[in-house]
Structure 1
Amino acid sequence: MHHLRSVNDVMTHAVVSVDGTAPVHDIVETMRRWGFSSLPVLSAGGRVAGVVSEADLLAKAEGTDASHSVTAGQLMTVPPVTVPRQATIAAAARLMAQGHFKRLPVVDDDGRLVGVVSRGDLLKIYLRPDADIAEELRDLITTRLVPSGTADVHAHVDHGVVRMEGEVADPALADVLVRVARTVPGVVDVTSTLHARVPA
């Protein structure tokens, strides 16, 4: 079973980039060929030095025949906005939303480019099979949240919607289980009929 937790789990590993010496013509051709609206610009060491976008090209090269004289290094936006490969999917989604980004370069601990994550990549969590989600929920419930013999909880998943049922020793635990279930990647909604066990 594969738990989708981090950017590394969903990012595109095959990366298209340019170096700082690439002229406008090459940048535009690369964007056209791959259908990207922005490209990471790499330093000699493979680190992300900046990002060049269609907006950069239009704003800085407008009205000039700069296709050969202006380079990615001159056009790129710095400092680049990147996301660590170990960042959570939720953190990457917040960063994209805040900056209105469609895609972000993914870097390792040394700042080297290792992938690219897009909005579509982040949405992959909602394509997780129900069986994977159910298995992760069972693992969370039985090994981390519910001490053995203290509850009888079952989680059923249908198109990402979790239905939790059964009984627990403490009413507060029922609320905890529902909150935790909502954090599992791929879960769309959670309904619960969990109830507290009546003392004998």
Structure 2
Amino acid sequence: MKHQTVGDVMSDAVVRVQRGTPFKEIAHLLQDYDITAVPVVDAADRPVGVVSEADLLQKMWGVEPDGSAGGGAPAAPVGGKASATDAAGLMTSPAVCAREDWSVVEAARVMARHGIKRLLVVDEGGRLIGVVSRSDLLRVFLRKDRAIRTEIIEEALVQTLRLPPSSVHVDVTHGHVVLSGRLPEHVPVPVLEELCRRVDGVVAVEFRPTGEADGGGPASAGH
């Protein structure tokens, strides 16, 4: 079973800036393109950092490198961003990057591990080719139930487990998969459930032995 990849869901129209791009130009770009962050690239178009709205706000709040703030209010230290005037001083570095052949699952794990909202996508030479956001990854769960059901039957049951397509009834509703029937002794239920969970768009999986499923006929996708 093939997961959707970062390349399938990323945006390849990427606004970027150079290290020397001034503060105000970055602020205008974020507003004009309705984005919350912009990659900073070197002369070879390789990402070296990211400037986000939060980085710009640190500058606007007037926080100084020593942790002081205007008006005598205490503030947390944020390095030299309060006095920065260009992308080189404002950016968060290094940039966290992904490859377009990564699965969306792998990309989501990296985002969670780093606590970030987006990944810059680079090619084999490390050059910027796209951006993938958390909302892009969530598009996987907009997949139609009928497509999920078809993949489970054709790839999990038939191709992987070598079972007849009618051996297990498969019902999918809003990504929730209900399997019903009797499995051969050589096919453990947890194995089938795990194969189903690997299908893009699946939210949950439940197996009901014959007699516990609602109704007795073959199940079908509701959407």
Give the TM-score category using the shorter length. Answer: 0.7 to 0.9
* 1:96-153 deviation digits (Å, cap 9, x = unpaired): 2222212221112221111111111111111001111112112222443222569812
For the pair shown, the structure with the greater C-alpha radius of gyration is 2
For structure 2, which runs of at least 5 residues remain unmatched after alignment? 64-80, 211-223
Tell me how far apart the structure 1 counterparts of residues 205 and 163 of structure 2 sit (CA, whole Å). Answer: 23
**Which SS does the other structure have where 1:184 is aligned?**
coil
Tell me how far apart the structure 2 counterparts of residues 113 and 194 of structure 1 sit (CA, whole Å). Answer: 50
- Counterpart of 2:217 in structure 1 is none
- Counterpart of 1:88 in structure 2 is 103
**Which SS does the other structure have where 1:193 is aligned?**
strand
Counterpart selection for 1:79 from 94, 101, 125: 94
For structure 1, which runs of at least 5 residues remain unmatched after alignment? 196-200
Tell me how far apart the structure 1 counterparts of residues 92 and 49 of structure 2 sit (CA, whole Å). Answer: 5
Percent same amino acid among aligned pairs? 38
Give the TM-score of the pair, scaled to structure 1: 0.83
Kindly indicate whether the alpha-carbon contact (under 8 Å) linking 2:177 and 2:206 is maintained by their aligned counterparts in 1.
Answer: yes
Kindly indicate whether the alpha-carbon contact (under 8 Å) linking 1:4 and 1:10 is maintained by their aligned counterparts in 2.
Answer: no
- Counterpart of 2:35 in structure 1 is 36
How many aligned residue pairs are there? 191
Kindly indicate whether the alpha-carbon contact (under 8 Å) linking 1:42 and 1:48 is maintained by their aligned counterparts in 2.
Answer: yes
- Counterpart of 1:198 in structure 2 is none
Counterpart selection for 2:176 from 143, 150, 161: 161
Structure 1 residue 105 corresponds to structure 2 residue 104: no
Give the TM-score of the pair, scaled to structure 2: 0.75
* 1:7-64 deviation digits (Å, cap 9, x = unpaired): 1121122212112221111100001112222110111212112111223333356549
**Which SS does the other structure have where 2:141 is aligned?**
helix
Tell me how far apart the structure 1 counterparts of residues 92 and 166 of structure 2 sit (CA, whole Å). Answer: 55
Structure 1 residue 179 corresponds to structure 2 residue 178: no
Structure 1 pair 171/194, CA: closer, same or farther in 2 (3 Å)?
Answer: farther
Tell me how far apart the structure 1 counterparts of residues 169 and 11 of structure 2 sit (CA, whole Å). Answer: 35
- Counterpart of 1:58 in structure 2 is 57
Structure 1 pair 187/150, CA: closer, same or farther in 2 (3 Å)?
Answer: closer
Kindly indicate whether the alpha-carbon contact (under 8 Å) linking 1:83 and 1:105 is maintained by their aligned counterparts in 2.
Answer: yes
Kindly indicate whether the alpha-carbon contact (under 8 Å) linking 1:48 and 1:80 is maintained by their aligned counterparts in 2.
Answer: yes
- Counterpart of 1:125 in structure 2 is 140
Tell me how far apart the structure 1 counterparts of residues 165 and 24 of structure 2 sit (CA, whole Å). Answer: 67
Tell me how far apart the structure 1 counterparts of residues 27 and 135 of structure 2 sit (CA, whole Å). Answer: 23
Structure 1 pair 143/113, CA: closer, same or farther in 2 (3 Å)?
Answer: farther
Kindly indicate whether the alpha-carbon contact (under 8 Å) linking 2:153 and 2:170 is maintained by their aligned counterparts in 1.
Answer: yes
Range 138-147 or range 108-117, more displaced: 138-147
**Which SS does the other structure have where 2:167 is aligned?**
strand
Kindly indicate whether the alpha-carbon contact (under 8 Å) linking 2:10 and 2:131 is maintained by their aligned counterparts in 1.
Answer: yes
